[in-house]
Amino acid sequence: MKDWVRMPNLWITNMENPGLKRFTSQDAGVSIAAIILYIALTHEANDKSKRDNHLYGYVDLTYDELASITLLSRAMISRGLRKLKDIGLIEIYNEGRKNIYNLKNNSIDVRFGKLPKLYFIKNNAFGMFNHRGYNELSALKLYLLFIAFRSTNLNAALIAYPKISEYTGIPEYKIRTGFPVQLVLKNGEKINLII
């Protein structure tokens, strides 16, 4: 199993339409579920694309398989997947009991971030979430942002508070609220935050 997988990051780094802003505190539970599902689908798509001869970025999973991976209820899986589809991050195709999920903008030639995988599996990282609350949502948004902006050469995400706020929708004075959970999610490779 790989330590990390490719995560398309254009949807995060596109300043004209930053995707992390679409996950709001008004529907924090659904937004948290959607981000967790996106991470899980990214983990599985990268493995299954090679293994099952699907095109790159496709994965087929049942709700039971998604529940086993993410520890989300079927209701939250449904709502989270609907949110991912509505904001244009995935396409869903029905095939019997399984759905086929296509991660949009996930081709070999697209810019990507290195999303930790082995750490999530070994440490049951999805089990660390309560699936509610502003701080948890902020932590997940910061986590994906730092992965998207992490420099391979420096092993650091060089981004200032004003830009963090612009990309995530988290007010500058509340950015630190996400850090305690963010630290729990660090993988062995460590993402250093330099502000």
**CB burial of residue 190 (10 Å; 0-12, 13-18, 19+):** exposed
pLDDT at residue 48, rounded to an integer:
57
pLDDT at 56: 67
pLDDT tens series, the chain, 195 aa = 678 888 888 889 888 888 899 999 999 999 999 999 999 999 888 655 555 555 667 888 899 999 999 999 999 999 999 999 999 999 999 888 788 898 887 665 567 888 888 777 777 777 777 777 888 899 899 999 999 998 878 878 888 889 999 999 999 988 876 564 443 344 444 444 433
* Sequence-separated (6 or more) residues with CB below 8 Å from residue 66: 37, 40, 72, 77
* Distance between CA atoms of residues 106 and 128, nearest Å: 27
Residue 190: predicted pLDDT: 45
pLDDT at 72: 93
Confidence at residue 50, expressed as pLDDT on a 0 to 100 scale: 55
d(C-alpha 24, C-alpha 28), whole Å: 6
Instruction: Please state the length of the chain.
Output: 195
The rounded distance, in Å, linking the Cα atoms of 91 and 99 is 10
Tokens of 139: 């932590």
Write out the DSSP string of 2-59. Answer: -SEEEEE-HHHH-TTS-GGGGS-GGGHHHHHHHHHHHHHHHHHHHHHHHHS-PPTTEE
pTM, two decimals, is 0.85
Q: From CA 64, how far away is CA 172, in angstroms rounded?
A: 39
Q: Which strands form 192-194's sheet, in the order they lie side by side? A: 150-151, 156-158, 192-194
- Residues linked to residue 194 through DSSP beta bridges, in sequence order: 158
What confidence score (pLDDT) does residue 194 get?
Answer: 36
| Residue 49: per-residue pLDDT | 53
The CA distance from 176 to 157, in Å, is 15
